[in-house]
Amino acid sequence: MIKVTNNLSGKEEIFKSRVPNKVDLYVCGVTPYDYSHLGHGRCYVSFDLLYRVLTFLGYDVTYCRNYTDIDDKIIKKAEQEFGDKQRYADITKKYIAHYQDDMKALNCVVPDHEPRVTENIDDIITFISGLIEKGKAYEADGDVYFSIKSFPEYGKFSKHDVKDLRVGQRVEPNSKKRDPLDFALWKSEFEGQFWQSPWGWGRPGWHIECSVLASKYLGTQIDIHAGGMDLIFPHHENEIAQSEALHGKPFANYWMHNGFVQINKEKMSKSLGNFFTLQEIFKKYDPMVVRFYFLNHQYRAPLDFSFDDLDAFQKSYQKLCRVFEKECSQLTNEEIKKSPTVQKMLAFLQDDLNTPGMMGVVFESLRELEKNESERCAVKAFIQKVLGLNLQSLPEKEIEVTEQMKRLIAERETARAEKNWTRADEIRDKLVELGYKIQDKKL
């Protein structure tokens, strides 16, 4: 049994799969027009953990995570770099490769399906055509829009009142929309550009993509749909409207969202200059430290990122690695579950992935685990298998000896020669802060 916060109801619920012991899991993927950032890392580590927990509990999980490899931002990047928006594939190829490297470094499981929008255009066209036939969408001079008025339940997921959403909205003079809230399913382009459709040349809108890919690879009704909290509106609201309007049944039974990554209480964004890519972070910290850092925060809560916190968690992770450095024989899931410590850890994870509480159990048990080999090996296997942490000791990084360090080293040697041990200790502590460790020999 596992409890999760279902944002459809706004409550914590006991999870029940549609088919016993089977779970369909869809997570919204990246738009590959730039390097992956901390927010991406947190999202995909969070739902990688969900996948691992469900699998450990005995569920057969089918995991799908897409690539939105055609989008306004990608096209803009292609125009900037190549002067040709038709070269969008050159952009996505580069950044998908970097993204996959980042996910591998974070030890995220490769999903069963990783569909790309550009490889499923025919299915998208068929889906849109079905909405038009049902009177849920309309074509206007090559564009196709979803009709909000055709779906009376619009706003139920994000708890928005359609009347409130329309306040301040207006249809532009040259707009093809019947209602200012109608959203694009298909965007027209000049002849010969992108893909041909019953409505002319064009490309899909953003929201339609996930509805189509989820239904194609998992089914018209799925167990869990997940993603970042910023996707609740309009993306997930629009997904629900499209899918349920076409198929006439609930799209996903559980909707789960991870919290934002914040820098000094503000959402991380390029415009604010507080933006960090995963590759930038990996130059300074081992990816396992970054994963460990994410796992020490409950997935739904905002994460206020700081390098000081990351430094502190790096030390905690090093401590963890030292405790579990001895080799253990491989254990089955059933053998791991027999551990009382694992049962305590699992109880927290089954309570809406309460990772801080679970980590508390681990660190409170370290002294006992050092003495008890069978418990230590079971907990080690659980951490590796379910938390995805490899527990390999972090490599010592080479420290560049700066001029400041050289001066302090010389000053300390003088203090030791003069038997000024207090001053020598002060300098040693300062050098440690700078990353330089000293091992003294007897004078």
Domains of the chain, residue spans? 3-258, 262-387, 398-443
Assess contact for 203 and 231: CB atoms under 8 A.
no
What is the predicted pLDDT for the residue at 268? Answer: 75
What is the predicted pLDDT for the residue at 415? Answer: 84
C-alpha 93/C-alpha 128 separation (Å) is: 27
Report the amino acid identity of residue 245: A
Best CA proximity match to 238, nearest among 216, 217, 212:
212
Assess contact for 374 and 329: CB atoms under 8 A.
no
- 13: its two tokens: 């619920």
Report the amino acid identity of residue 231: L
Question: How far, CA to CA in Å, does 299 sit from each of 22, 292, 302, 352, 354?
Answer: 23, 12, 8, 9, 8
What is the predicted pLDDT for the residue at 32? Answer: 98
Per-residue pLDDT of the chain (443 residues; tens, 9 = 90+): 999 999 999 999 999 999 999 999 999 999 999 999 999 999 999 999 999 999 999 999 999 999 999 999 999 999 999 999 999 999 999 999 999 999 999 999 999 999 999 999 999 999 999 999 999 999 999 999 999 999 999 999 999 998 888 776 655 655 789 999 999 999 999 999 999 999 999 999 999 999 999 999 999 999 999 999 999 999 999 999 999 999 999 999 999 999 999 987 777 776 676 789 999 999 999 999 999 999 999 999 999 999 999 999 999 999 999 999 999 999 999 999 999 999 999 999 999 999 999 999 999 999 999 999 999 999 999 999 999 999 998 876 556 678 888 888 889 889 888 888 888 888 887 876 676 766 665 55
Residue with tokens 């490309």: 203
Question: How far, CA to CA in Å, does 61 sit from each of 49, 212, 307?
Answer: 12, 20, 35
The model carries a pTM of 0.88
What is the predicted pLDDT for the residue at 108? Answer: 98
Of the candidate CATH numbers 3.40.50.620, 3.20.20.330, 3.40.50.12280, 1.10.486.10, the domain formed by 3-258 belongs to 3.40.50.620
What is the predicted pLDDT for the residue at 197? Answer: 98
Question: How far, CA to CA in Å, does 109 sit from each of 47, 51, 83, 105?
Answer: 10, 8, 37, 11
Question: How far, CA to CA in Å, does 54 sit from each of 156, 225, 367, 388?
Answer: 28, 14, 29, 13
Assess contact for 291 and 107: CB atoms under 8 A.
yes
What is the predicted pLDDT for the residue at 441? Answer: 59
Coil, strand or helix: which one is 305? strand
By the 10 Å C-beta count (0-12 exposed, 13-18 middle, 19+ buried), 42 is classed as buried
Best CA proximity match to 91, nearest among 71, 105, 106:
71
Question: pLDDT tens digits, residue range 156-203?
Answer: 999 999 888 877 665 565 578 999 999 999 999 999 999 999 999 999
